[in-house]
Amino acid sequence: MKLYLDLDNYDYQPERYKYAVEQMMLTLFPEERPEYPPREGRTLKGETNAARFTLRRSPVWTTVRAQVYRPQGMGQAAVRVGSGQLDRPPEQVYHTLQHALKMAFYQAGTALLGGEPPWGALTGVRPVKLPTRAMLAGATEAQACRELEREYHVSPRRARLAVECARASLAEDRQLEEGQVSLYIGIPFCPTRCAYCSFVSADVGRALKLVDPYVEALLEEVRRTGQVLEQAGLRVRTLYVGGGTPTTLSASQLDRLLAAAEAYLDGAGCVREGHEAMYDIIAHAMVLEQYEGRCVAGAAQALQSVPPIVRQMLTQLKLVCAYEGGGS
């Protein structure tokens, strides 16, 4: 897709504006790849696969406009921001403009597509990051949900899931005591790529030969991390298994990983069985992709819906895996 950025006088780190537009392009049109034609002699006449972005400033408002050209026609949308917001330091201006660019692109694109993706206009972030930040600033869960739905067009179901995860994450943070740490284990492989995601990850089908050596290296890192923590007198309270998608590993690979964590990491301070809210998040995290529709609201029911091999691994480790990512 040809991308035309006409943002005169706002060239602070222009590659970052390109990145924002490219992420939205991949959300709306995942089959496309970006092209940037030269300014000289370019024309949009007859275009069927292009997007143009313009910025027009007035004393009161600055309007960011997106025009999207596809075979089915042309869609356009405009987002206004207060002109005073562009008189701030360059970093703040960037965040204002990149959001306006993405939202204008999103509105123009979805008007052509006739529908919206479940995660709405979110790109390049963990969905839980926004409600966590809002709740830390004093917002209620209902207000955090509304922000996701109204500002980012996230579906109500996905917004509720993100807020549930934020609640669980914040609850664990509040219980972290002196000498305790939370650990993250990343699995950088996915069966498919979530539209909003800009994390480093690889399609497991294309990167299958990398999985085994990655797991071997990860097991060694778990062992060495355990040594470092022991020397520092630190104990693990929570273990976060994310990515990526942890269930792209086989049952035996997951079993080896969890066994290594249990063997080398001091989990004396970990939350044990019975933490229902967190087990509900585990159920979402571990099986939502592979066993779609079988995760239910009640934690006990959710665990019963998990195949025995997965349930055995969850209870064997006796640690809590908090899920902050977002399935598609």
Could you tell me the residue ranges of all domains in the chain?
2-113, 129-164, 176-317
Which of 76-80, 118-122, 285-289 comes out lowest in average pLDDT? 285-289
Q: How far is CA 324 from CA 81, 108, 132, in A?
A: 31, 30, 10
CATH for 2-113 is 3.30.160.100
Determine the pLDDT at residue 198.
Answer: 60
- Report residue 304's pLDDT band, with 50, 70 and 90 as the boundaries: low
Query: Average pLDDT in the 111-115 region?
Result: 92
- Report residue 324's pLDDT band, with 50, 70 and 90 as the boundaries: very low
Tell me: pLDDT of 172 over 50. yes
Give the tens place of pLDDT for each residue, 236-284: 888 888 877 888 888 889 889 988 988 898 766 565 433 333 333 443 4
Calculate the average pLDDT of the chain: 78
Of 69 and 188, the structure prediction assigns the larger pLDDT to 69
Tell me: pLDDT of 217 over 90. yes
- Report residue 197's pLDDT band, with 50, 70 and 90 as the boundaries: low
What is the dihedral sign for C-alpha 159, 165, 166, 167?
positive
pTM check: above 0.85: no
Percent of the chain surpassing pLDDT 70? 74
Determine the pLDDT at residue 297.
Answer: 39
Determine the pLDDT at residue 11.
Answer: 54
Most confident of 117-131, 207-221, 258-272: 207-221
Percent of the chain surpassing pLDDT 90? 31
- Report residue 108's pLDDT band, with 50, 70 and 90 as the boundaries: very high
The 3-state secondary structure of the chain reads CEEEEECCCCCCCHHHHHHHHHHHHHHHCCCCCCECCCCCCCCCCCCCCEEEEEEEECCCEEEEEEEEEECCEEEEEEEEEEHHHHHCCHHHHHHHHHHHHHHHHHHHHHHHHCCCCCCCCCCCCCCCHHHHHHHHCCCCHHHHHHHHHHHHCCCHHHHHHHHHHHHHHHHHHHHCCCCEEEEEEEECEECCCCCCCCCCCEECCCCHHHHHHHHHHHHHHHHHHHHHHHHHCCEEEEEEEEECCHHHCCHHHHHHHHHHHHHHCCCCCCCCCCCHHHHHHHHHHHHCCCCCCCCCCCHHHHHHCCCHHHHHHHHHHCCCCCCCCCCC
Most confident of 84-88, 266-270, 304-308: 84-88
> Using an 8 Å Cβ cutoff, are 27 and 46 in contact?
no
Give the tens place of pLDDT for each residue, 146-168: 999 999 999 999 999 999 989 98
Determine the pLDDT at residue 130.
Answer: 92
Determine the pLDDT at residue 175.
Answer: 81
